[in-house]
Chain A
């Protein structure tokens, strides 16, 4: 069984300040890791993902996340946030694909990021 813990349900941050959204996971098998973003009244959009290789992954809009296997973490960071980053952010894990057919994503409960002007 897998689980994802997002320790902060809400994170308020001033515009142009840095932010870190925390994600820890538990799994008995190797995993892929994802961050999805959900804007109000919309579905989920993939922000970034870690499948293999470099443990630091980046998105096109300035977010980055680092996979830390020893700490089972995949924290999301951005050095300077913008008003448009206001959204709900979900961390998710799935099996690394060695068991083909199991596409189940296990999500955390989400972190609501609010940017303060």
Chain B
């Protein structure tokens, strides 16, 4: 148990739709990161939030956006879904201190038809 939860566990959408994925971090974990893991691949960094502000982003278009809330929950929003967005989406949180480890949630599996 990592103390990081995600919802929903599975989701099916159609191309062009919008989706919101949710993550709940451990209390005190001020940094949350989101990753996309396509089938058969390693996770790819989407972006990270620290104290409710985005402070790092990977090579993903602006239709991927996020929010982080004071209660240690966060959201990943994806607009105009494409077939290639089908993947496992993972969130990871960490506490303060530069040697703190990131702990991953179980992920949300998104299928875009």
Contacts and interface: CB of A to CB of B under 8 A. Distances in A.
Bound together: yes
A43 B33 contact: no
Contact of B45 (A42, A98, A106): A106
Chain B interface size band reads 20 to 34
Chain A interface size band reads 20 to 34
Interface string B84-113: 000010101010001101111111000000
Is the contact region of chain B dominated by helix, strand, or loop, or is it mixed? strand
Interface in A29-63: 32, 34, 36, 42-46, 49, 51-52
Is the contact region of chain A dominated by helix, strand, or loop, or is it mixed? loop
Interface of B: 2, 6, 31, 33, 35, 40-45, 48, 50, 55-56, 58, 88, 90, 92, 94, 98-99, 101-107
Given A44-B92, A106-B45, 19 more contacts: A36-B104, A42-B106, A43-B90, A44-B43, A45-B2, A45-B104, A52-B99, A90-B43, A97-B98, A97-B99, A103-B56, A104-B33, A105-B43, A107-B42, A107-B43, A107-B44, A109-B41, A110-B40, A110-B41
